[in-house]
Amino acid sequence: MGLLRVMMPPKLQLLALLAFAVAMFFLENQIQKLEESRGKLERAIARHEVREIEQRHTQDGLRERDSAAALLSNSEDDMVIIYNRVPKTASTSFTNIAYDLCGKNHYHVLHINTTKNNPVMSIQDQVRFVKNVTEWREMKPAFYHGHVSFLDFTKFGVKRKPIYINVIRDPIERLVSYYYFLRFGDDYRPGLRRRKQGDKKTFDECVSAGGSDCAPEKLWLQIPFFCGHYSECWNVGSQWALEQAKYNLVNEYMLVGVTEELEDFVMMLEAALPRFFKGATELYKTGKKSHLRKTSEKKPPTKESIAKLQQSAIWKMENEFYEFALEQFQFVRAHAVREKDGELYLLAQNFFYEKIYPKN
């Protein structure tokens, strides 16, 4: 360059410097444009990646939502209810509602019929029953009912337990009803011959004579039905059995109603388990089958007969259990139902969610 400056005239040297400066300016301008283009390209790529991530998140969210919905649907379709019904507590009347609704609501009803109506199963039958209830997919969802005492499914390693429900009754009223039922039957199957048919002795006469069919020991039934398959449950007058029955009622049963307030029981079941009981309340009010099954020739006991039974320790324990169940039922009802102008109304949902994080 120094040699060129010596050899070139001054004017040419100036033109060369100007040309070099213009070339450098043009080159820098092109480099700047390339940098700007690269920046735009990088931002476009980044926006595209963000959109892809958002789309993936949206798709994942939809899949999760669909999976959750499918899981809920599968959960409802896998549901099993066990109603281990106590004799003479309006159990047939309530079960008829389940039979009337099973076709409409798409579930199965299965009657557990044990030999000689024995409420205690052998250990091998317990295993068979638990296996049927949990693995018999063709019969799910299912409503099982029968005169069987409570069975603890957790003892058999079952992950998902069935839902237990039941209804109980004032112990003396239940015994009186059962006493006459064995002699005269009821209006459900009037032609069926009963075990004590032909015995015309009234309940009062039985109590006065100290008969076995009306003895205080016959009151011992609702406690062992809730207590379960433990030997102590069936020891008449066992305090342990009473406490175990209370424990099971609170911890193992979703809802236990009382015969005297059966409509409230039906209404709350419909609200809690519509998969099974949608339409149950209206059916109970209007359906012919839902009206209480009536024992024929039943005569109310005298105050003297009632007082004599109430002197026994067995009645006191069974009555304590009944009042415990009644108090629990009324507590649940008070938080679920309101009465207005003689009609019952379910309370609307009264919880909601807020402060949900993280924010998307």
Which positions are catalytic?
Answer: 145, 147
Q: Are 147 and 114 in contact (CB under 8 A)?
A: yes
Distance CA 343, CA 313 (A): 39
The DSSP string of 70-130 is: HHHHHHHHT-EEEE-PPTTSSHHHHHHHHHHHHHHHT-EEEE---GGG-SS--HHHHHHHH
How remote is the C-alpha of 264 from its chain's centroid?
17
Helix (H) or strand (E) holding 255: strand 253-258
Q: What are phi and psi of 168, to 5 degrees?
A: -125, 175
Conformational region of residue 214, where left means phi above 0, alpha means psi within -120 to 50, and beta covers everything else: alpha
Closest CA to 94 of 298, 300, 326, 280: 280
